[in-house]
Amino acid sequence: MSERQETVIVGGGQAGLAMSHQLSRRGRPHVVLERGRVAERWRSERWDSLMFQFPNWSMRLPGHPYDGGDPEGFATRDEVIAFIERYRDAIRAPVRTGVGATALRPAATGDLLHLETTHGPIEADNVVIATGPYQEPIVPATSRALPSRVRQVHSSGYRNPDQLPAGAVLVVGSGASGCQIVEDLLAAGRRVHLSVGRHRRFPRRYRGRDMFWWMERLGALDHTLEQRPEARERPNPLVTGVGGGHDIDLRRYRAAGVALLGHLAGVTGSRLHLADDVEAQLAAGDESVAAFTRSVDDYIERSGIEAPAEPTPAPPASSEIPPIRELDLEEAGITAVIWATGFRRDFGWIRLPILDDRGEPVHRRGVTRCPGVYFLGLPWLHTLRSSVLCGVGDDAAHLAEHIASRVVAPAARRA
């Protein structure tokens, strides 16, 4: 026999808990299902030395602002987990841990939804899918051509340098994860090769403020995809909270001994075939810095606010290092490859017509065509802010209002 619930929230991370808070504020009964522990991905799919990318003052959830003593600092992985746990306790979220969702489909009768879980079926009026965007690691097909002696790890499985065999390491991917891992390896004295991909980089601080403060002031976090359709394909800006926060410039990695490589085009035996695109990628990163600082300068001039001037940056030095088109893993002493190549969504357990041909959710600000089915915590769910820890609350409030109206409307009709 199926359990009956008004609303089931699938996922016990920051998005699921924010949804729980917004439903509780409206007096709506619900339950939160979490396959592991609260904030499980922060616990088991992040490396030991990870630092939160944004300042502590930005670490806020609905009804729960940052409660520590270092607002301008950057939280460790464990501090983020503790913050989310305190939030769960503060809002008294009805979380069931160790319960995974395995299938979602229409119920046999009525307008209910049938949710299969590892602890038995649940029938519900509403299901909010708050499992986040980081579900299935992406590992390129070229990985299968690498020699078996080379240890391969996705960034979600990387913990620290000690888990890798002795020798040099190739990191594939120059996003925020790849760059933090490169710095972690360098600090341990490892020789590192970095396969550079598309990236944008922003200064950590500019004209007296953190870049995130400026993004909020500029309204960049509130842009929708309708306003910025090109933004879906743009990589996230490179920022880090390591060491109190600093600028990321891949040229500095090169100066520290990292071999910068083009993107990986193929593998033959122990030889990597590499594109000649390192300098082009670095130039694109430079332009993203220039575009950001121009937008801040223009905002300061328009608004008339006081902000300290910045020294004119020196032009980037041109590299005299010839591009590496082929690299022999054995000759380079590379014994491990870390794939910092991102994630894809995995909604194969959803048996409802709410996914497109790529398996991506079809929705409007989280509301799908199937009554009672919602998504939360995805990039660009509504705005750029939607996938940031401090931004999920607005979308959760929107969905909670929608759910409350669905519940009230049938009752009004019956009356």
Q: What are phi and psi of 120, to 5 degrees?
A: 110, 165
- Checking if the pLDDT of 391 tops 90, the result is yes
Lowest mean pLDDT among 112-126, 146-160, 194-208, 229-243: 229-243
Q: What is the pLDDT of residues 317-331, one digit of tens each?
A: 666 678 999 999 999
Q: Tell me, what's the pLDDT at 314?
A: 76
What's the topology of domain 3-135+345-414?
FAD/NAD(P)-binding domain (3.50.50)
Query: Is 3-135+345-414's fold the same as 136-339's?
Result: yes
Q: What are phi and psi of 101, to 5 degrees?
A: -90, 135
Q: Tell me, what's the pLDDT at 409?
A: 60
Rounded Cα gap, residues 388 and 383, in angstroms: 10
The H-assigned helical ranges of 116-257 are 176-187, 211-218, 250-255
pTM: 0.94
Q: What is the pLDDT of residues 176-198, one digit of tens each?
A: 999 999 999 999 999 999 999 99
Superfamily of domain 136-339: FAD/NAD(P)-binding domain (3.50.50.60)
DSSP per position, 224-290: BTTT-GGGGGSPPEE-B-GGG-B---HHHHHHTT-EEE--EEEEETTEEEE-S-HHHHHHHHHHHHH
Question: What ranges do the domains of the chain cover?
Answer: 3-135+345-414, 136-339
- Checking if the pLDDT of 398 tops 70, the result is yes
Q: Kindly tell me the burial class for residue 110, based on how many C-beta atoms sit within 10 Å of its own C-beta (0-12, 13-18, 19 or more).
A: exposed
Q: Which two tokens stand for residue 238?
A: 């490179």
Q: Which two tokens stand for residue 106?
A: 């229409």
End-to-end CA distance of the chain: 30
In the chain, the percentage of residues whose pLDDT exceeds 70 is 97
Q: What is the pLDDT of residues 48-83, one digit of tens each?
A: 999 999 999 999 999 999 999 999 999 999 999 999
Q: Tell me, what's the pLDDT at 413?
A: 46
Which residues neighbour 189 within 8 Å (Cβ) at sequence distance 6 or greater? Answer: none
Q: Tell me, what's the pLDDT at 414?
A: 47
DSSP 31: E
Closest alpha carbon to 195 in 344, 323, 331, 49: 323
Q: What is the mean pLDDT of residues 229-235?
A: 85
Q: What are phi and psi of 19, to 5 degrees?
A: -65, -40
H/E element holding 123? strand 122-129
- Please, what's the largest Cα pairwise distance for the chain? 79
Closest alpha carbon to 150 in 128, 122, 170, 179: 170
**pLDDT confidence bin for 299, thresholds 50/70/90:** very high
Q: What are phi and psi of 375, to 5 degrees?
A: -120, 150
